[in-house]
A and B are shown apart, each in its own frame.
Chain A
């Protein structure tokens, strides 16, 4: 499959029952772009990420991921849901890293990293094992392959989770507050892995409260409030000189 790594959202709406969580979201993310999303709790940041990898479906609007309509195919009159197999295929091209790691506790770190290639792509076991070794080493966890998640610290678990996503060779990586559940001294080790990844040209969308990371690594910054994108621009510019009053008051609170 061809490399794309772009995300296009036009007029996205999403409700949970009577509550509209995303209202008219328009967003374009280029291949290789590092985009940080910030905003107050409940503004819909997680929901956007979850739509981009199919954990939620959007109610209306256009959502193209890697250049394809995501989860649906378009006809003259409607969007029709894709069969599960097709959706799964699209999902393998988008990695997701969760706040709570969500490693499989019944598998070792090594098995976790191998789980995608072997169980989903039915790749060769030997090659996947070798690749898993390399990936664990690349996130600084060489020698931890035989540990179960319960035997690893939060920072180590999150790095295994990142390696697990990378094993699928996704074009896009989504991070939902990847360091929020970590002790302060473990935050750095996870951010270091993410910075590494950013240098390699991966498209990354990162929901985060780490303004330092946004300033240092991000190309663009999105500020969300109440289901709308209030402001979007160059990360350092928005952080130092926000144009919207709502962005300004939010940044004053968190910085």
Chain B
């Protein structure tokens, strides 16, 4: 049976008929979509090219990045505070955090954004001061709550609720023994949080936060309803003038896609960094190089 040594024969994978069918279908569909996209003049690819680096689009992109970074950073900080409150032994504190999370996760962001934009209907002026006294100051709400501020407030408060749940999930992934070890050394609650719980919660918090950043990046497009000239709104402003709706939506979409791809790189780096402690290789040890038996024989 055969010309080569049976022990050396390659072992071939089973290919089912479904696999061949899958290949054929995918290739045909790919070719079909691609030709349609490239040959249909209504896509107006030259318009896409013309506006891709247009100044107003780039300014919109900058604002989108700013909104993402700012509301993610503030939302994470507030989320951390909420997570700590939620795990508090003091019942009213824990319940308050729980209510916040329920409220902000349970209503649409779009509604929240419009709500904050119109907050002056509810509170025409904002008073900061001590209740039931005259001490304090008042400002006109409309003066503060412009579209960008409303966007920031809305996105931040909403994100905080999601981040709180992510962070609290990370906290509870840290074993009870870790907390007892820290306590038995006499660690304060703050030190225990910073040096023991948070570093260990990171590996489960980071990937989820990465998803949130990506979600937030695209989610900022919602604030276009407030007339904030972020990426989508900038594209809309142009096609409102030129009626080149589809090409400009493609411009915006390509930018969202590019940024999303760029964001997934640092996320994977961070994931690697935080998984170091669980790897079994000593930090200073060189990775084991397996000797190649054929090379050794030569």
A103: chain B residues within 8 A (beta carbon): 181
| Interchain nearest-CB distance for B181 vs A (Å) | 4
- Secondary structure of the B side of the interface? helix
Interface locus among A7-15, A114-122, A208-216, A218-226: A114-122
Q: Which of A55, A89, A105, A108 contacts B278 (CB 8 A)?
A: A105
Known: A55-B180, A104-B178. A116 touches B186 (CB 8 A): yes
| Interchain nearest-CB distance for A52 vs B (Å) | 10
A92: chain B residues within 8 A (beta carbon): 185-186
Question: In the docked arrangement, what's the CA distance between A54 and B181, Å?
Answer: 12
Known: A106-B277, A146-B282, A150-B280. A91 touches B199 (CB 8 A): no
B177-A102 in contact (CB<8A): yes
| Interchain nearest-CB distance for A163 vs B (Å) | 12
B181: chain A residues within 8 A (beta carbon): 96, 98, 102-104, 161
Known: A119-B191, A147-B282, A150-B278. A91 touches B183 (CB 8 A): yes
A43, CB-defined interface residue at 8 Å: no
A200, CB-defined interface residue at 8 Å: no
Nearest-neighbor residue (CB-CB) of A98 within chain B: B177
Interface residues of B in 166-187 (CB under 8 A from A): 175, 177-178, 180-187
| Most A-side CB within 10 Å, residue of B181, B196, B200 | B181
Q: Mark A64-84, 1 if CB is under 8 A from B, else 0.
A: 000000000000000000001
Known: A95-B184, A102-B181, A106-B200. A146 touches B277 (CB 8 A): no
B199: chain A residues within 8 A (beta carbon): 106
B3, CB-defined interface residue at 8 Å: no
A147: chain B residues within 8 A (beta carbon): 282
Nearest-neighbor residue (CB-CB) of A55 within chain B: B180
| Interchain nearest-CB distance for B185 vs A (Å) | 4
B188-A150 in contact (CB<8A): no
Q: Which of A88, A94, A106, A108 contacts B188 (CB 8 A)?
A: A88
A120-B277 in contact (CB<8A): no
Question: In the docked arrangement, what's the CA distance between A161 and B178, Å?
Answer: 12
A136, CB-defined interface residue at 8 Å: no
| Interchain nearest-CB distance for A146 vs B (Å) | 6
Nearest-neighbor residue (CB-CB) of B182 within chain A: A104
B188: chain A residues within 8 A (beta carbon): 84-85, 88, 120
B189, CB-defined interface residue at 8 Å: yes
B276: chain A residues within 8 A (beta carbon): 148
B195: chain A residues within 8 A (beta carbon): 104, 115, 119
Tally of contact residues, A, Cβ under 8 A: 35
B13, CB-defined interface residue at 8 Å: no
Nearest-neighbor residue (CB-CB) of B276 within chain A: A148
B282-A53 in contact (CB<8A): no
B187-A104 in contact (CB<8A): no
Q: Which of B183, B189, B200 contacts A105 (CB 8 A)?
A: B200
B99, CB-defined interface residue at 8 Å: no
Nearest-neighbor residue (CB-CB) of B191 within chain A: A119
A55-B280 in contact (CB<8A): no
Known: A103-B181, A105-B200. A151 touches B282 (CB 8 A): yes
B279: chain A residues within 8 A (beta carbon): 148, 150
Interface residues of A in 40-71 (CB under 8 A from B): 53-55
A148-B184 in contact (CB<8A): no
Nearest-neighbor residue (CB-CB) of A164 within chain B: B185
B269, CB-defined interface residue at 8 Å: no
A190, CB-defined interface residue at 8 Å: no
B283, CB-defined interface residue at 8 Å: yes
Interface residues of B in 267-298 (CB under 8 A from A): 276-284
Nearest-neighbor residue (CB-CB) of B199 within chain A: A106
A38, CB-defined interface residue at 8 Å: no
A31, CB-defined interface residue at 8 Å: no
A53: chain B residues within 8 A (beta carbon): 184
B185-A168 in contact (CB<8A): yes
Q: Mark B183-223, 1 if CB is under 8 A from A, else 0.
A: 11111110100011001100000000000000000000000
Known: A55-B184, A84-B189, A104-B181. 5 other contacts (CB 8 A): A91-B186, A96-B181, A104-B182, A115-B185, A120-B186
The 7 A-B residue pairs whose C-beta atoms are closest, nearest first, are A102-B181, A92-B186, A96-B184, A102-B177, A88-B186, A106-B199, A91-B186
Residues of A bordering B, CB below 8 Å: 53-55, 84-85, 88-92, 94-96, 98, 100, 102-108, 115-116, 119-120, 146-148, 150-151, 161, 164-165, 168
CB<8 Å pairs between A and B, sample of 8: A53-B184, A84-B189, A98-B177, A104-B181, A104-B195, A104-B200, A148-B277, A151-B282
